[in-house]
Amino acid sequence: MSVIADTPPWPSPNYGDRRGGVLPSLIVIHYTAMASCAEARARLCDPAFEVSAHWLISETGVVEGLVPEAARAWHAGAGAWAGVTDVNSASIGIELANTGLQPFAEPQMAALEALLAGIMQRWAIPPHRVIAHSDMAPARKGDPGAKFDWRRLALQGLSIWPSAGEADVDAFLPALRRFGYPEAPEAELLTAFRLRFRPWARGPLGRVDAGLACDLALRFPVDATALQA
């Protein structure tokens, strides 16, 4: 992993203080959806666009710090996860240079793994708190998308992967809620869930979807008081 600009001065001015003294407890993974890493960097560092992330990783595995981790970068937007509605204040954002149409390059994935390990250690963030942008904003976002290898991260303890099983389809939405997904129409949640855990799946909600969701809810349940916030 090659790291540049990971100390002040920070390239992006698009950040502020974390509200209420909140510390990072989530990591949100994005893709840039732009033609090049240079173009994405320019956008993330332009005050006119009011968008940023803490880290940007190029296709060749160069890791650049754009915003200090202790600060509130503007990467997540509207959405929620596990009862957290100000995700920007509670998270660290990582942007991967990728249009969303191609696989993520090996050097980029290796760099991400090294970066994630460090962030998780620094802020005591557990694997189930590493999420997709599409997880917290299923109505708006689809990144990092179907070509991102979540299972690879899970095998290294950098994310999670559900165990296979089946359950009644009526259990799907309650299980997603217990796991951390926000309230949203079933179709949007199914799309977001499959993007991460069953990107090859097609058709209506099925018992396999429900079984995977129930496994996640059983193993990584959200505190019930958080869901009432």
Active site residues: 95
Apex 227 CA angle, 225 and 229, nearest 5: 75
Which residue reads 């992330």 in tokens? 53
- 188 residue type, one letter: E
Instruction: Kindly report the length of the chain.
Output: 229
| Residues linked to residue 132 through DSSP beta bridges, in sequence order | 29
Q: Give Cα 99 to chain centroid, integer Å.
A: 16
**Is the backbone of residue 127 left (phi > 0), alpha (psi -120 to 50) or beta?**
alpha
Mention every residue, 6+ apart, whose C-beta is less than 8 A from residue 111.
1, 2, 57, 61, 62, 63
